[in-house]
Amino acid sequence: MSDNQQFQKFTSDPAVMQMIAKAKEKNIPTVWNRYEQMLPQCGFGETGLCCRHCLQGPCRINPFEEGAKTGICGATADVMVARGLDRAIAAGTAAHSGHAKHLAHTLLKMTQGKARDYKITDPVKLKKVAARMNIAVDDRKDNEIARDVALAALADFHEKETPVMWAASVVTPGRVKVLSGLGIVPKGIDHEISEIMHRTLYGVDADPVNLLLGGLRCSVADLAGCYMGTDLADILFGTPTPQVTCANLGTLKSGSVNVALHGHNPVLSEVIVQVAEAMQDEAIQAGADGINVVGICCTGNELMERHGIPSCTHSVSQEMALLTGAIDVMIVDYQCIMPSVASVAECMGTKVITTMDICKITGATHIEVKDETAAENAKQALTHAISSFKARKNRKTDIPEIKNTVVAGFSTESIVAALSKLNDKDPLAPLVDNIKSGNIKGLCLFAGCNNVKISQDINYTTMTAKLLKENVLVVATGCGAGSLMRHDFMDPSKTEELCGKGLFTVLNAIGEANGLGGPLPPVLHLGSCVDNSRAIEIAVALANYLGVDTDKLPVVASAPEPTSEKAISIGTYAVSAGLPTHVGVMLPITGGPLVTRILTQDVKELTGGYFIVEPDPNKAADVLLQALDERRAGLGLE
Amino acid sequence: MPDYKEIFVKTDICTGCNTCKLACAVEHSKTKNLFEAMFETPKPKSRLYVEWVPENTRIPVLCRHCEDAPCINACISGAITRSDQGTVVTDTDKCIGCWTCVMVCPYGVIGRDKALHKAYRCDRCPDLEVPACVASCPTKALVYESVDTFSADRRKAVSKELVTGKGV
Amino acid sequence: MGNHYVIVGGSAAGMAAAHTLRKKDKAGIITVLSDEKSPPYFRPMIPYIINGKKKASHITLSGNGMFTEQGIDVRTDTAVSALDTAPKTVTTKSGEAIPYDRLLFATGSRPYMPETIKGLDTKGVFSLKTLADAMAMARRLQDTNHVVMLGGGILNLKAAFAMLEKGIRVTLVVYSPEVLSQLMEPEDAFLIRKALDNAGLEIMTRCSATDVVTDAGGVCAVALSNGKELPCQMVCVGKGVIPNTDFIQKSNIKINKGILVDKHTACNVKDTFAAGDVAVTHDPVTGEKVTTALWTNAVEMGICAGLNMAGIKTRYTGTFGIMNATQVAAEPFVSMGVVHTRNKDVEVYIEKSGHTFRKIVFNKKGTRLIGAVFIGDITNAGMYRYVIREKKPIDRFKSHLISHTLHYGHFM
């Protein structure tokens, strides 16, 4: 078996394959080695039937034993898996909203003059958000509005008289009714997370249905956190507009100081990008061609959608970026950073710099980046990068010559702007008309991560290829977007080849009307994982335009290679929003037959959405197509 | 008697995680897939047991396929025989569920399938190169070896322990 | 030329000895003399012949279980009528004298037919012992809608169920206060009784038959000690068994009810051995001399006798006077060792629930396990048997014995 065939079970990205071969040759352990060592994985954990919520445990329920089995406290299998799922949703919610809260604090400090390295970049978005929050905008200074927006954002975290505004004001009026009816409108984002921790404690909620409703409510709080994250980032750093750029390991430059920014929050990466620009000369003096900033994971998406900064790689292949030997420093904030990057960096003679108080890694250098001193801290980190470059500049690097063309940066605003070139009075009309005519069968959002259990990207590419041919308009976020961009799905020159006729016609018409001289890319890049809010925003706009609720739209979601608990909370809010939502990895709930049935069937009666658990990407695509047909039929469309 | 491989247990490194029990049930299911096997009727059965002895010993127990197997002699329907692979096998067609084998097994490792009314036990996974329980064990507390190899390995480990003064 | 081993009796003990001999002595000649017409079969399976669930070919001994050796001369329909230990010869009913080097008595037992019941020789009265009996019962069953069974032992219960399954009405007439009185105290059998009642078996306890009433077709009713008369077309007697020692009684082999053997299954005369139902052995728990009628015991003792006959001196560890396991009417049970504890100076633990019963019996000092009854949940019964039989010290796991949480780890 050739190496490449052997590595196909790890990844379908040829650049990553080259680096896996290198890791093998240099005997550097990677995520795939560790996964193989971890096999077989514990079946109790896989099915959600291991409970460690109290010190009497761990309790395991053997699904093969006869009779009703319970944990020591009496919790049934369904209670156990529902509790576990709730905690995963709470963790995902805490991460997205933690990201948003960070932005809110930065925005507030900026208005108070305490964070001088930040400014309001998009006052239009500021006013749009303020208006949605019932904050007065007329005759007020941007700074004042921004202050009120930041305070409103922070107020959404605790329990208060009003519901979470970033939830209640961003969905359709119909959805507010549905959620209220089920008692799942969140009261405060942190409150919901805390309440999940409470109700899943030893000896509290032991009704699987009630637990699941609690999980759904928390997921709506997660939507709020994501939405807020997008809003505030757009205000501070600009609302994305289409950018022509590139992706994959070939974006690294052997002669430059390569700075990889990894993690999530633009609060860090935006400042690094600014300071890097200012330090180009310093790099050149050190013998480099300049500083080459690249992104990894969602930081990559945030920088790409606003500045066209290239994305180096994503998710499960993050170690591979370091294996090129070309990265001079990897600067990280939080979320999805495998601790192993520190040891791979050490093997490759480079370093990882952690920047956030809540995310330190043994073996990494920590430089705390604070809002108040961000540029100064960034400079410190980049100085490390330059000295690191000096040390490695004569060493051989192994940068795969693989670079994919990407057009990214499709916010709701930029999509509407593009559509308005076709109909400036009624910009949504061309899109809706094409959905009605069947040129566009429907919409599918791809979100989530890569998962070591699946050959990297293969589920995304298999499903997307199938859906595009069936004229489904595909949008993508997070590492899902990362996957698709590294396989040319965001390259406009591939639109004709990849898309069905109807879809191509639409994408081409929009492209031509916007003077691109060709179509939009086959898949629209909506940004990072908090930017799943943009997909919700688009769905809500369509629903309101059609006068229906989101659970009637031909819109589906899929996380075909999920890893993080954030993917679970996102998937759950997609279900809360009424979307058929596919997951390509078994969720640790299958040990609870009732919970499994509720989430894959019965919840449809409540929110209109439901989970589809299907590991086979071909079958999954078929099921999603069926769901779209069902929705179209519901709207009376062919 | 030929030198068959047997399943040995290193009780000192068993953590009592019960993974072997799940793997065993899955291997003896129709679908051989954890997620689907859980929903089969009748439920597939695990053929080994993880017992606990205070204070801290976990002991996987399974059919020893005894050389002089009391169950073979006791069976009143002639359902229990020794296979060519050296295992003691219950022919489910012949088993009438009288449980005499359960009464005579000193290891307590013959189970009763109440739905099928048949006795069942470890078959050392005849279709697999390594039995499912052994393959699944995260700590390698279950070992599939011939008696001679296992004893030789044990001797080596103990000698090393004596020389280095350390546990292995 | 090798030894000539002659085995009288072609069932569990005889055939187990024959196959053991063949394993250990490839050269010897092994002749089994069986008075039955059919080749050896698994005797406990004959209730399934009555209701047609199994055919005779399904229950053949040869090639199954431990009975896999070749080169054993089994002569069916060959009853033995005489024995001479000097010179060493047995003589068949047809007059053939067969010399032996070593001889095994594995003649088994036959049903006890109480003389207090008149008319037991009537057509339609059976006692289930042989395959031929079972086949005859199956034939009679075609014209039968009610069967009266005399005796509440395990064999009668099995036969009763075989017939109930065919939709035939069955009444069990039991002299004792409860069924299975050999295997447990009447009050301990409540779960089994409940299951039997639910299964539709009619049971009359503290009652016995006095007369079998006949007409032209054979039996037409049974008269009972309580003055009632039960119309029926078939009667099955299951009142225990007696060892088959007829042709031996005239010889110099010591007999006391059964044939007396030493610890190595040998009789008092050189080169003669006995095993199975016919042999008087000892109960390792009580130390008493016992005869039993259990397939499993007979096989074990037959193996032991085979080894001793082959010259491999092997001690027979004895059998519990009481030991049995089976499932009647979806209720599995195991009974072994000392289980009748009324007025006995022993330590007893009883645990009962709606669907399980457990009785654990220790000696007076509470230092040794001597008996156990499990109904409903028979998990790990074999370990209890092991502890009883091997007289294991129990101080380390007594509480587990009582709470039924014993497992093999406790022996390590």
B35: nearest CB among A40, A44, A586: A586
* Residues C275 and C265 sit within 8 Å (Cβ to Cβ): yes
Averaged pLDDT, A184-206: 98
The answer to whether B119 touches B95, Cβ cutoff 8 Å, is yes
pLDDT at C1: 64
- pLDDT score, position B166: 55
Here the CATH number for the domain that contains residue B158 is 3.30.70
Tell me which DSSP letter residue A310 carries: P
Please state, in angstroms and rounded to a whole number, the distance separating the CA atoms of residues C183 and C293: 13
Buried b (16+ CB within 10 A) or exposed e, C227-238: eeebebbbbbbb
Note the pLDDT of residue B126: 92
Give me the pLDDT at residue A3, please: 62
Range of the domain at B54: 1-63+123-168
Average pLDDT of chain C to the nearest whole number: 92
Q: What is the pLDDT of residues A119-173, one digit of tens each?
A: 999 999 999 999 999 999 999 999 999 999 999 999 999 999 899 999 999 999 9
Maximum CA extent, chain C = 67
CA distance C389 to chain B (A): 11
Report the percentage of chain A scoring pLDDT > 90.
95
How large is the average pLDDT for residues C302-314?
96
Region C340-350: what's the mean pLDDT? 93
CB A428 within 8 A of CB A436: no
Residues B70 and B109 in one domain: yes
B53 plus B94 within the same structural domain = no
Angle (CA) A261 A263 A264, round 5°: 110
* Whether residue B106 is found in the same domain as residue B129: no
How far apart are the C-alpha atoms of C65 and C63, rounded to whole Å? Answer: 7
Confidence at residue A1, expressed as pLDDT on a 0 to 100 scale: 46
Assess whether pLDDT exceeds 90 at residue C145: yes
Between C286 and A537, the higher pLDDT residue: A537
CB contact burial A271-282 (16+ within 10 A = b; e otherwise): bbbebbeebeeb
Contact C408 B107 (CB under 8 A): yes
At residue A57, the pLDDT reads: 86
How confident is residue A67, by pLDDT bands cut at 50, 70 and 90?
low
Name the domain boundary from C190, C209, C239.
Answer: C239
| Same domain flag for C267 and C163 | no
Contact B79 C383 (CB under 8 A): no
Average pLDDT over residues A346-363: 96
Q: Inspect the structure and tell me whether chains B and A have 3 or more CB pairs less than 8 Å apart.
A: yes
**pLDDT class of A5 with cuts at 50, 70, 90:** confident
Q: Does a structural domain hold residue C324?
A: no
- Residues B148 and B110 placed together within one structural domain of the fold: no
d(CA C334, CA C44): 16
Give the residue with greater pLDDT, A312 vs A1. A312
Looking at residue B168, its pLDDT comes to 41
Rg of chain C, C-alpha, whole Å: 22
- Containing structural domain, residue C401: 338-411
The total number of structural domains in chain B stands at 2
**What pLDDT is attached to residue B22?**
93
Alpha-carbon distance of A531 to A481, in angstroms, equals 11
- Tell me if C407 and B94 make a contact (CB, 8 A cut-off): no
Number of H helices, E strands in chain A: 28, 16
Residue in A with minimal Cα distance to B27: A64
Q: Are residues B22 and B56 in the same domain?
A: yes
C137 part of a folded domain: yes
The predicted structure's pLDDT at residue B105: 93
For residues C273-293, average pLDDT? 89
The pLDDT value given to residue C268: 95
A5 or A205, which is more confident: A205
Q: Are residues B29 and B97 in the same domain?
A: no
Pick the closest to residue A228 from A185, A172, A186, A165 (CA basis): A165
* C253 shares its domain with C293: yes
Same domain, C173 and C226: yes
Nearest-angstrom CA–CA distance, A520 and A492: 5
Q: Where are the alpha helices (DSSP H) in A398-457?
A: 412-420, 428-437
Name the residue among A400, C406, C376, B118 with its Cα closest to residue C388.
C406
Banded model confidence at residue A225, pLDDT cuts 50, 70, 90: very high
Sign of CA dihedral C265, C312, C324, C329: negative
Contact partners of A by the rule of 3+ C-beta pairs under 8 A? B
- Say if CB C35 and CB C78 are below 8 A apart: yes
What's the CATH number where C90 sits? 3.50.50.60
User: Considering only CB atoms, which chain B residues are within 8 Å of C295?
Assistant: 74, 76, 100
C19 and C105 fall within a common domain: yes
* Contacts A43 to B, Cβ<8 Å: 19, 22-23, 26, 34
Q: What is the pLDDT of residues A407-418, one digit of tens each?
A: 999 999 999 999
Provide the pLDDT confidence category of residue B2 given band limits of 50, 70 and 90: low
User: In this structure, which amino acid lies at residue A426?
Assistant: D
Give pLDDT tens digits for A590-636: 999 999 999 999 999 999 999 999 999 999 999 999 999 999 999 99
The H or E element spanning position A235 is helix A208-237
Please give the structure tokens belonging to residue C230: 């039960």
Give me the CATH number covering residue B79: 3.30.70.20
Residues B58 and B1 in one domain: yes
Which of B19, B43, B114 has its CB closest to that of A43? B19
Is C250 found in the same domain as C178?
A: no
Query: Sorting pLDDT into bands at 50, 70 and 90, what band is A2?
Result: low
> Are residue C103 and residue C9 in the same domain, yes or no?
yes
Q: What is the mean pLDDT of residues B149-163?
A: 80
- Counted domains in chain C: 3
Average pLDDT score over chain A: 96
Return the top range by mean pLDDT from A26-40, A484-498, C172-186: A484-498
In whole angstroms, give the CA distance from residue B155 to residue A91: 49
Q: Which residue type, as a one-letter code, is found at position A618?
A: N
Which band of pLDDT confidence, cut at 50, 70 and 90, is reported for residue C286? confident
Mean pLDDT computed over A288-297 = 97
Over residues C102-107, mean pLDDT: 97
pLDDT for position A424: 93
| DSSP code per residue over A11-57 | BS-HHHHHHHHHHHHHT---HHHHHHHHPSPPHHHHTT-EE-SSTT-
On whether both C193 and C130 belong to a single domain, the answer is: yes
pLDDT at residue B167 tops 60:
no
CA A613 to chain B, closest CA, distance in angstroms equals 11
* pLDDT above 50 for A398: yes
pLDDT higher than 90, residue C60 = yes
Task: Give yes or no: residues C79 and C135 share one domain.
Answer: no
Token readout for A391 is 């040390």
Q: What is the pTM of this model?
A: 0.84
- One domain for residues C283 and C388: no
Q: What percent of chain A has pLDDT over 70?
A: 99
pLDDT tens digits, one per residue of C204-223: 999 999 999 999 999 999 99
The average pLDDT across B110-131 equals 93
What average pLDDT does the segment C188-194 reach? 90
